[in-house]
Structure 1
Amino acid sequence: MPDRSRGRDPGDLLGNVDIQQLRCFVAVADELHFGRAAERLHVTPSPLSRRIRELEHELGSDLFIREYHRVRLTVFGLDFLEPAREVLKRFDALKHLSQDPEAYRRRRCRLGVAPLAAPLVVDAVLDAFHRAAPDVELPLTPAPSAELLAELAGDGLDLAVVHLPIGVPDLNSLTVGRGPYAVAMRADDEFAGRDSLTLSELRHREFLMASPKVHPFFMGGIRAAMLAAGITRIIDLPHTDVIQVATQVSRTGALNLTPGGPNHPAARVFGSPDYRLVPLGAPRITVSIGVAWRPGSEAQVPGLDDVLTALRDEYGANPISL
């Protein structure tokens, strides 16, 4: 495509570009993969690719170099990325404006909470707000970690309680709770009497894995540890419902890696006499849950700096045992 953008400021090239085209572009630029970007936006790759082509036509220059199983940003794409992010940030901020004139004078922090986050961690964060910033309103957004991190990066949230590590270089995080992993199995399983297990001992067994879409980076780390131990029979489930996972374990005899500490909801589901949770030995895998935020927002969001200081002082060196 002829480059009609040469010598022009990328921020001045918007023309008839619509906001969804920019959202598609930023998603592909972040993922460098059309399939993953489509999943993130909850669309199929075909319309996503079409929106990118329409955007390139409008701009008069290619944004991506498309190779076999590989996508890279062009020089112009790199230049266009930050202005596009800024437009999206400003646009997304509009939805938080209120017709209530008092809203501008209120102190509020938009808090996201992952449904699978341990209640002890969520309670610790809420308690920190009540102690350090009691006058700050806390509108809550429940959503999977992946969605919360996207909202946080896009300025749709101020703080999020999520599983760690987050895998997003532009965000900060702090661990508030940490606990061990265990192997969940039926009570009559051949390994049910063991005091501990290693992953390599289980390489011939079939494992159920909750949907990685809730947090691809975190779940990817768990999968990598399993593959490194020789476990290849992994069945990805289309959901993250722990009760349904337990039902599948009971029905099929397959195993499941799950947080094994007594203070994690997943461990309570497998606390029934029908199941056995065997602690996982080397390589030791832990589940960490904490908070994530945008760098610099401590000085902009009411009470956030005080809350983060309180959490860091109380749990930075001694996370809650999950």
Structure 2
Amino acid sequence: MTTIKAIRIEKTGGPEAMTLRDVELGQPKPGEITVRAKAIGVNFIDTYHRSGLYPVPLPSGIGMEAAGVVEAVGEGVTQFKVGDRAAYASGPIGAYAQANNVVASSAVKVPDGIGDEQAAAMMLKGLTAQFLLRQTFRVEKGQTILWHAAAGGVGLIACQWAKHLGATVIGTVGSEEKAKLAREHGCDHVIDYSKEDVAARVKEITGGKKLPVVYDGVGKSTFISSLDSLAPLGLLVSFGNASGPVTDVNLGILAQKGSLYVTRPTMFHYAAKTPTAMQEMADDLFSVVKSGAVKIEVKQRYSLAEAARAHIDLESRKTVGASVLVP
């Protein structure tokens, strides 16, 4: 047993539900590794776990991703050794901690040329961009796509990547500051949803053709405008709930608006397709980052004790790019 500092939640609620505690971390079980964190990613899914939108058994740790060094290796683990650099972005949750035991098959090796903060900031967001752009809908050169919240953590990565793939990228934002950031990160067109009708602008930009795909991590407030931005037989990829979940949908609306498709994917199902899927997805991500085509920018840093402030900033839309906790 090792005593470490970790964030715990006893009951769901606001950011104040998180407290920093001394906890005992046992040795890794068979198939697990212990990762001593150098940097920890902060993501919207963490706020869903904390608030109860995505229920978890309580009491609980919190956090999905971190990067650091392998400190111990459980029985049967062959792909990692003590001293290896590693990162992870999947359960069990508990990444907001100085160290964490994780299943070795869900962790990936971090190559030279990728920093710890970069790795922690890119795993969940970057792997999300990977499966959305390269698997859920395979973006090809010459296509035009729409990405909601283009200045968010996933958006900044995905828009750069989509541009690198040869797509024309339309991004939505909520302020002029974020519009500037989106333009600097691959967006050919930026729509300020606080001032403009998104679907009308999409129709204008595309000459009435509209789009084959819309990527929507915002949820409730953008659902209809996303559907209205799609060409017949287009696909809405709904992958987040930043404005609240989409509920009580009449499926007939998909027929009325053009025999549309909707999917609600998660990274974890894509990463579980094969035993090596997670590392292959990560290698694809690391490759575009190392090439310089996609830049990972950590814009906010907090100590582990400041986790509540990190959530307040994230939920109030004050953040841009990526946020990390530095234990």
Normalised TM-score (structure 2): 0.27
Which fold has the larger relative contact order, with Cα–Cα distance below 8 Å and residues 6 or more apart in sequence? 1
Look at both structures and tell me which one has the larger radius of gyration over its CA atoms.
1
Normalised TM-score (structure 1): 0.27
Higher helix share: 1
